[in-house]
Each structure stands twice: as C-alpha cells, then as structure tokens.
Amino acid sequence: MDVLCSDKTGTLTRNVLEVGAVSAMPSFDRERVLVLAALASSEADQDPIDATIRQVAASISRGSAKERLVRWVPFDPATKMSEAFVGGEDGKEFRIAKGAFQVIAEVAEVPA
C-alpha cells in the first residue's frame, strides 16, 4: 500500500464536509494525494464526499500532473468499495481503491 485515505467527517457536529489534514506517505505530497483521490471520486452519483474531494483537488494547481483515468469501477455495496485504474506519468497503470476501512485494509498490498 502506498496511500491510505481515511475520513472523519464533521457532518454530525457542523453539517459541513471538508478535507482536513492529509498525511502523505513518503514520495507523496498533499497535492498528489488529493489529485489521485479526485480521480477515484465519482462525478455521476453526486456523492457529497466525492464532490468535496473533487472541489479541493480542483483548487490545486497541478498543471504538470500526468495521471489519467483509464477505467472506473463504481462503488459496489457487496464489496464496499470502488476502484479507479489510472495511467501514471511513467506509462504504468496503477489502482486506487476507495471504500470501507476494513475492506481497504484487506486488499492493500503492504510490503513485508
């Protein structure tokens, strides 16, 4: 696993969704994490969390970003996750999985 995004929303206390602190793993920064998270966020279903992530990512100037969405797998209640397959700057494809913490923890490929 290279990046794990987890959320703790303020919807119960303030009725507002916002991106708070981003703790990036080595070789990532806040901006890259948000740009990748936006690629893994659906525009079609109008999910408020996805919309918030896309809004924050759009405010970041990343003119040099070369990642592109190759394939989207929508959220599936049975698997409790959605996936985006993204073409990286080096031409290699990588996977971004987004979903329930316990599911992502199971599918993450963590080095020994």
DSSP 48-110: HHHHHHHHHHHTS--TT---EEEEEEEEETTTTEEEEEEE-TTS-EEEEEEE-HHHHHHH---
Instruction: Indicate if 7 belongs to the active site.
Output: yes
**Would you say 95 and 84 are in contact if contact means Cβ atoms under 8 Å apart?**
yes
| Residue found under tokens 């918030």 | 52
Q: Which of 7, 29, 45, 76 is catalytic?
A: 7
Q: Which residues are catalytic?
A: 7
